[in-house]
Structure 1
Amino acid sequence: MDKVTTAEIEQFRDRLAAYPPALKALDTIEDCEGDLEDAAISLAIRAGQEPQQNNADWLASLAKRCRAAICQDILRENLQNGAWDKAAIALANLDLIPEILATPVLIYVLKQGVEEFCEPLDRV
């Protein structure tokens, strides 16, 4: 389970201030006491998704479905350079997932480490 600290939430608020859906997602993460998985499931349900709530790896699976897009040069560079708002907007605009889930997915990737997350694609 990935936890997001209050300080990290504030850092994300600063970097994602230009993207209102991200701020809503961060409010939910904060309401879930920083539990990223719980927040993502809550956001998914609100977006009309039916996540397997007993699956502790649901967020990881969602992120893996987005891996090819996240690890493309521009989106990946935005994450690595701190342009997280641009990365969230780009991911949301790809229509792979509901826009409200772009933020928890990207936070998950950042907590895993972008290079580590993208490594399986780099080996190909």
Structure 2
Amino acid sequence: MSNATQLTTQEIEQYREQFKDYPEALDALELIAETDGDLIESAGLLAMETGVEISSRVVEEDNILDKLAKRCRSIVCDDDFIDDLMKDLLTVAVATLAASGQIPVAVATPVVIYLAKKGVKKWCQSNE
């Protein structure tokens, strides 16, 4: 399992502090904690809970986080979004994704954390 898809207990606590004013993001972090920090598993559960459809066509190297990010690629790879992540403004990034109407805050939370950990610029370049 890659580092970008796994959170430690300490990281979850840091994100809880960062998202303290965002109840839906905190709920997502609670589920991430319950899945032992597994962002892929928690994103799948959150997508099911919130009715977000994920295509059943599974590409081997694609995880659900990549699929959700690709769905919002025009936003994720926008300079403003990248700047927000580079400045560690994850709450702004989550709000931006949720505002797009493509995925709710609860689902956007693990996607944004994943992109921040993986490196959003690197992700955008590898998904061109």
TM above 0.5, yes or no, is: yes
Alignment-derived partner of residue 21 in structure 1 = 24
Are 2:79 and 1:76 aligned? Answer: no
Partner in structure 1 of residue 69 of structure 2? 63
Alpha-carbon offset, residue 108 of structure 1? 1.3
Which residue does the alignment assign to 2:97?
91
List runs of 5+ in structure 2 lacking aligned partners: none
State whether residues 63 and 108 of structure 1, in contact with CA within 8 Å, keep that contact through their aligned partners in structure 2. no
1:10 paired with 2:5, answer: no
Give 1:105 deviation, angstroms: 0.7
Q: Distance in 2 between matches of 1:65 and 1:48?
A: 15
Identity %: 40
Partners of 2:17 and 2:71 lie apart in 1 by: 27
Whether the 8 Å CA contact 1:92–1:99 is kept in 2: the answer is yes
Q: CA deviation at 1:102?
A: 0.7
TM-score normalized by the length of structure 1? 0.85
Aligned 8 A contact 1:4 1:35 in 2: yes
Instruction: Supply the AA of the counterpart residue of 2:43.
Output: A
Deviation of the 1:62 alpha carbon: 1.2
Q: CA shift at 1:51, angstroms?
A: 4.0
Return the letter of the residue paired with 2:99: N
List alignment gaps of at least 5 residues for structure 1.
Answer: none
Q: CA RMSD in A?
A: 2.3
The CA distance in 1 between the partners of 2:120 and 2:22, in whole Å, is 21
Offset at 1:120?
4.8
- Is the aligned partner of 1:32 residue 2:38? no
Residue in structure 1 matching 2:107, options 81, 98, 101? 101
| SS of structure 1 residue aligned to 2:85 | helix
The alignment covers a number of residue pairs equal to 122
